[in-house]
Amino acid sequence: FFSSIPGKMSGDQVQYLVQQGIPQLVNDMVADLVKDKPTQPIKYMADWFSVRKNMDAATCDVGLFGLAVMGQNFALNMAEHGFSVAVCNRSPEKVDATVQRAKAEGNLPLWGFKDPKEFVQAIKKPRRIVILVQAGKPVDATIDALAGHMDAGDLLVDGGNEWFVNSQRRGGGPPPPGAI
């Protein structure tokens, strides 16, 4: 459908996708097209659509939430060593920067997500998620954002430099629903 039509995506094609129940995908696709490749043929969009569609099947080996210097480099290192990596951050710009860097460093198997639910759903079960965010309240906020989308058997690892009292507090109470 898309690869056979040269030029930009038409309004009819966008409307077709919206009617198929995937408005967020359309928004992301159009934003990517306008921002990154405004004059590329529709094949770029077909490729983009194919990659994003495959992400719905939970194909990533591991997830990493928190894309400051350490988190971004850790995610890229895992991808460079053959793991497919889903990344997420509360600042969308960091997600975009990490995805662009993965592309520039050899089209590494790394996918960015700006929504915690989509991020968690993109990871193979049982899920393995590393959190690399600032110690304290940001860790609690990240756990709260992710835990509701996780299942029994999923693993959530705080890889940051947390104060031991906070780690004990989190470990002493019940784990987030579905997480170990």
pLDDT digit string (tens) for 82-96? 999 999 999 999 999
CA distance 162 to 142: 13
pLDDT digit string (tens) for 146-157? 999 999 999 999
Strand segments (E) across the chain: 62-65, 85-88, 110-113, 128-131, 155-158
8 falls in which pLDDT band (50, 70, 90)?
very low
- Residue 20 predicted with pLDDT over 80: no
Tokens 């890889």 belong to residue: 159
The structure tokens listed for 106 are 């050899």
Contact 123, 83 (CB under 8 A): no
Query: What pLDDT sits at residue 179?
Result: 61
Contact 60, 82 (CB under 8 A): no
Q: Return all residues near 3 (Cβ < 8 A) that are at least 6 apart.
A: 42, 43, 46
Give exposure, 39-48, as e/b (b: 16+ Cβ within 10 Å). eeebebbbeb
Contact 4, 13 (CB under 8 A): no
pLDDT digit string (tens) for 66-122? 999 999 999 999 999 999 999 999 999 999 999 999 999 999 999 999 999 999 999
> Mean pLDDT, the chain, as a whole number?
77
CA distance 108 to 105: 7
Q: pTM to 2 decimals?
A: 0.65
Q: Return all residues near 6 (Cβ < 8 A) that are at least 6 apart.
A: 41, 42
